[in-house]
Amino acid sequence: MTITSDIRFELRQVTGIEWIIRDQRYASHDARGTVARIWRVDEDHCEVDWLVDTCLPTRYVCPANVIEDLHRTVSRSTKPVPIPHFAPVGARATERPE
């Protein structure tokens, strides 16, 4: 079973109780492409072993929730808003014609 919620990330079922999330930016043989390992502990929850630095939880109800949460977190990560820069106040005063 493979669930793709984003072109970048893919949820792949490895066994009956184990899944991985792959980052599609890396080749299939590149170990950096594995973002997380997930396994079902019981009917009510799964454990996640994050292989990348993230602040996401390690317990979820199902694997689909893991990739949804990852997708939501990554989609919020954007470049910072540029801050306009102005010349120092003293520099402006010296540039004025007298």
Confidence of residue 9 (pLDDT cuts 50, 70, 90): very high
Task: Reply yes or no on whether the pLDDT at 32 is more than 80.
Answer: yes
d(CA 48, CA 58): 5
Question: For residue 18, what are the β-bridge partners?
Answer: 39
Q: Residues 6 or more apart from 54 whose CB is under 8 A from it?
A: 70, 73
Which of 1-15, 16-30, 63-77: highest mean pLDDT? 16-30
The pLDDT value given to residue 5: 47
Looking at per-residue confidence, does 48 or 79 come out higher? 48
Mean pLDDT of 62-88: 81
- The stretch 11-35 carries a mean pLDDT of 93
pLDDT of residue 8: 87
